[in-house]
Amino acid sequence: MSLNDGRKRVALALGACAFAGTLLYFVVGGIGNNLVYYWGPTEVLAAGPKAHGASIRLGGLVEAGSIKKGEGSNLSFSVTDGKKSLSVRCSSVPPQMFREGIGVVVEGTVATDGVFESHRLMVSHGNEYRAPDDPASVDLKKLMGSASELPEQDKK
């Protein structure tokens, strides 16, 4: 392949640009539509209707006295970050450590009635994160990290 021909070079460069452009379009589009936001109750409430239907990982502490067990594996409780709290409806069987005051990360979205609907409930894992005595000092970033060692599951 001799590339000495200048026109051939230009054509090749144009082709490469077109290819890269198309690729970038698909990649950026693909990422944009599939972002999962790591939010606390404050951020979710601040997002308002924008949060409806978005993929969210909600992190916080299980509010004392808020756990209600329903039929089968249905469960409801509130998640708080010390400032705001948000009700959560959860359809998965809770993990062993689930109890009041523990750090949790729930995955799902905000339903039209404003309740967070979750298909997946994770308890903060690992030794790094311990639920603080003072709920106002929740370190969201650490909490999210400590639960993320369990990979995301398919939404079914």
Instruction: Using CB under 8 A, list all residues that contact another protein.
Output: 1, 23, 26-27, 30-31, 33-38, 55, 57, 72-73, 92-98, 123, 125-128, 130, 140-141, 144-146, 148-154, 156
Local structure of 97: helix, strand or coil: coil
Q: Whose Cβ is closer to another protein: residue 60's or residue 94's?
A: 94
Q: How far is the CB of 122 from another protein (least distance, A)?
A: 10
Q: Whose Cβ is closer to another protein: residue 10's or residue 27's?
A: 27
Q: How many C-beta neighbours within 10 Å does residue 78 have?
A: 19
Q: How far is the CB of 140 from another protein (least distance, A)?
A: 8
Q: Is 72 left (phi over 0), alpha (psi -120 to 50) or beta?
A: left
Residues 6 or more apart in contact with residue 70 via CB below 8 angstroms: 76
Q: Whose Cβ is closer to another protein: residue 83's or residue 155's?
A: 155
Q: Which residue has the tokens 């409801």?
A: 76
Residues 6 or more apart in contact with residue 3 via CB below 8 angstroms: 9, 12
Q: Whose Cβ is closer to another protein: residue 110's or residue 113's?
A: 110
Q: How far is the CB of 21 from another protein (least distance, A)?
A: 13
Q: Do the Cβ atoms of 78 and 85 come closer than 8 Å?
A: yes
Tokens of 111: 């339903």
